[in-house]
Structure 1
């Protein structure tokens, strides 16, 4: 085919697609979803290196325009940068530089489970209250103090008003969401 005309190559290309019975009518979102699941599953089975898998997931985050399904990988990347430069995290308090590979692998496992269970964004967004032991949508509550700033807002449980919340990026919270979804 090296010297064949472009039209002839295109004819053979489409014949090959038909012979292989490939579905080429998938949307970009479907292709990204399939690729993300493939990458995560290969990382879990240790068929590919976790660093490579993580770098691919970061590309997926960008390609999907920061879709909620992949945003955890962006948050991990942000936290790794914060850990390197200020020894703190924004999203994942359990993450350290020492446990990063295991943490990312666990995130891949959670990602696959959530995708296979088709957990809706509203459920994934819930936080866990350590006081009433419920998943909920947090609300903000104004608090006051005798020093500046005198007034400030805090996140509280949407059910009992407690401030003892675990953010939805926490692996324990994600596992609770998965278990609840399996029961329903």
Structure 2
């Protein structure tokens, strides 16, 4: 079995389960379920890579494959934590005290570090990277910071765009239409 057939099977099975769950569950509940599954699966991947990543950090390895393994472990730790926190946020009705807490930021920063660790070592992609990876990292960070400052400064209102969302991206089966008064939207 090659990567294409493995990916096809996994995508097919996951998409089928998601579509069945989408028919039965309100969108809020579906998102909670997906985040719980993601939290567990990401934690499983983290467990798989964590020992090797810890050894690489402990020994101060310079092998590019160890940079990637540490990045993978950090990325899955971040994904698992963020998914768990999103599920808690939805279950709490998006309580601002919880959703504005610093713990979300810490987990997001792990993803940033993981991404940088993926491109930091020379020769990490296809055995040869044509430019210095530091140039790519600095350019990417500058672009990301400018984008973040722009969004925070302008603070665009996404509501008109959300209202223009195509029907298929909403709760197509109206599973959340029978929510009790005061419940969070589906």
For normalisation by structure 1, the TM-score amounts to: 0.25
Higher relative contact order (CA 8 A, sep 6+): 2
Structure with a larger share of its residues in strand:
1
Structure with a larger share of its residues in helix:
2
Greater Cα radius of gyration, structure 1 or 2:
1
